[in-house]
Amino acid sequence: YALQGSRWRVKNLTYKISKYPKRLKRVDVDAEIARAFAVWSEDTDLTFTRKTSGPVHIEIKFVESEHGDGDAFDGQGGTLAHAFFPVFGGDAHFDDAELWTIGSPRGTNLFQVAAHEFGHSLGLSHSDQSSALMAPFYRGFEPVFKLDEDDKAAIQSLYGRKTNQYTPTNVYPPSTQRPSYTPPKVPLDGSVCKDSKVDTIFNSENGDTFAFKGDKYYKLTTDSVEEGYPKLISKNWPGLPANIDAAFTYKNGKTYFFKGTQYWRYHGSQMDGAYPKEISEGFTGIPDHLDAAMVWGGNGKIYFFKGSKFWRFDPAKKPPVKASYPKPISNWEGVPNNLDAALRYTNGYTYFFKGDKYYRFHDARFAVDTATPPFPRPTAHWWFGCKNTPSSTGFRRR
Amino acid sequence: AVQSAPVSTTSQAEIYLSQFGYLPASARNPASSGLQDKHTWVSAIEEFQNFAGLNVTGELDEETMKLMSLPRCGVRDRVGSSDTRSKR
């Protein structure tokens, strides 16, 4: 997912429909728009109240061609609607040249497009996950609508998880709220600023980012460490040992941890079965004593790194590792051997970590990204938010 | 009803890429269209293909123009400068 950068300061928002579509009954439009807003109340404390007049947060209009905001609609097809981010007012405009329909495969489904546009009104940008509601392309009528994990992680990163009992007006399966676990606090130490080498870094199912180091873990914010960390790994992942080699979360929502010849599988903080198992048992073709592992955003496959080599693992294939692997890590232009960690971060980029430095990888060019300051950059400054540490490594990448 | 035209020419693709944030807004101005340097043009196509989950070829191929013709949201895919991504 991607965030535009602004959000509402309040969670109880109001809206009004100041111009209705030509071809639908108002009462039906009111119901569909309410259902579309309710999509975003399901996993947060956001509430949406319809008003018929006066000032509101989000104004909705069905209009055609040029309609006063400088972004003319283009007739049937093409652009269906657009919305403004909170900092620009949050309003949503729908092209009334479209054949808006309700609960039918004909025309364009009002509920789906409206739910997408309200994501923008709340601060979400487009996602490159084709299964996400916030993907830019209309996918046709979906009789059974389900918000993608990518969308949930996005909206919760802006407005937090659901804590109130407010049930949205639409009919959704009650979300299975995992009991939140607050492990005992371990006093924050500055050691990670002196020695920022990590064992592994991975994202959890709901988009949190964790760095493991020894027997402790750090929960990362967008540019530093969350208050009260590090904490003990064993307190949040009961049964998991210290000094983990590698970790990743797969699209099945499970997180896999690797150490020596063994691996563990967790769902959130719960061990997901009888673990540890042997890597050779669950990941045929993958070696022991790994350096790093990740799910690469370029193709959704699992990549393992060890020494100067890497393996690609595809659970859907038999065998899951082609005979052409391992291949040299030098194929990933600019990435060094003997890595410590690899991560596909929530901003869509792929990152590699080695020692106290990290590399950002440009997936489209299949090479380490060029930027200022150049890569590698110091991990302490950019990932752990360590104040008096340099922001660059002072030499240009060869 | 007015139908929006599918993307089938380079200049239509240029307008599309500019409309959705892959090329500078100036490219939407027909007077200046065609003034992209090769690297900018190829990068824009690569970025769009990468974002849309297509094979990243840098070429304005059939597959890419077909996707550009799909009904979609009018909000840009690339919002603001590239550093809207997290600080890292």
Q: Taking a contact as any Cβ pair under 8 Å apart, which residues of chain A between 314 and 343 contact chain B?
A: none
Mean pLDDT within A117-129: 96
Q: Taking CA A238 as the corner, what is the angle to CA A233 and CA A244, rounded to the nearest 5 degrees?
A: 45
Pairing of strands A100-101, A108-109: parallel
Rounded to whole angstroms, the Cα distance separating A238 from A244 reads: 14
Beta bridge partners of A255: A249, A266
Q: Give the span between the Cα atoms of A377 and A360, in whole angstroms.
A: 9
**Closest alpha carbon within chain A to B5:** A78
Residues of A in contact with B87 (CB under 8 A): 222-223, 382
From the CB of residue A366, how many other CB atoms can be counted at a distance below 10 Å? Answer: 13
Give the gyration radius of chain B's Cα atoms: 13
Q: CA A149 to CA A133: how far, in whole Å?
A: 10
Q: Which sign, positive or negative, has the C-alpha torsion A307, A310, A314, A319?
A: negative
* Per-residue pLDDT, B67: 94
CB of A75 within 8 Å of a chain B CB? The answer is yes
Closest CA to B52 of A119, A3, A1, A130: A130
Cα–Cα dist A363/A348, whole Å: 9
Q: What is the pLDDT of residues A308-341, one digit of tens each?
A: 999 999 998 889 999 999 999 999 999 999 999 9
A156-171 residue pLDDT tens: 999 999 987 655 443 3
Report the relative pairing of strands A270-271 and A277-278 from DSSP bridges. Answer: unpaired
Q: Compute the mean pLDDT over every residue in chain A, rounded to the nearest whole number.
A: 89
Q: Please identify among residues 23-42 of chain B the ones whose CB lies closer than 8 Å to any CB of chain A.
A: none
Assess contact for A183 and A237: CB atoms under 8 A.
no
Residue B50 with chain A: CB contacts under 8 Å: 128, 298, 363-364
Predicted pLDDT at A51: 94
Chain A hits for B85, CB-CB cut-off 8 Å, are 2, 347-349
Q: How does pLDDT run across A29-84, given as a tens digit for each residue?
A: 999 999 999 999 999 999 999 999 999 999 999 999 999 888 999 999 999 999 99
A196 at the B interface (CB within 8 A)? Answer: no
CA distances from A210 to A24, A114, A143, A206, A306 (A): 48, 34, 37, 12, 21
The residues, ordered by sequence, that sit 6+ positions from A191 with a Cβ below 8 Å of its Cβ are: none
* Nearest-CB residue to B88 (from A113, A117, A383): A383
Structure tokens at A14: 């109001």
Inspect the interface and report whether the beta carbons of A79 and B51 lie closer than 8 Å.
Answer: no
Quick one: DSSP state of residue A331? G
pLDDT, one tens digit per residue, over A276-307 is: 999 999 999 999 999 999 999 878 899 999 99
Q: CB distance from A222 to chain B under 8 Å?
A: yes
Band (pLDDT 50/70/90 cuts) for residue A192 is confident
Long-range contacts of B41-45 (CB under 8 A, 24+ apart): B44/B17, B45/B13, B45/B17
Number of neighbouring beta carbons within 10 Å of residue B50: 19
Of A42, A117, A149, A205, the catalytic one is A117
Contacts of B58 (CB under 8 A, 6+ apart): B42, B43, B45, B46, B49
Residue B27: DSSP 8-state: G
Helix (H) or strand (E) holding A235: helix A233-236
Instruction: Show the 3-state SS of A161-210.
Output: CCCCCCCCCCCCCCCCCCCCCCCCCCCCCCHHHHCCCCCEEEECCCCCEE
Mean pLDDT, residues B32-53 taken together: 83
- A300 at the B interface (CB within 8 A)? no
Neighboring chain B residues of A357 at a CB cutoff of 8 Å: none
- pLDDT surpassing 90 at residue A114: yes
Residue A268: count of CB within 10 angstroms of its CB: 17
What is the residue-wise DSSP string for A272-293? -SS--EEHHHHSTT--SS-SEE
Q: Are B73 and A74 an interchain contact pair (Cβ–Cβ within 8 Å)?
A: no
Distance (Å) from the C-alpha of residue B2 to the closest C-alpha of chain A? Answer: 5
A32 flagged as catalytic = no
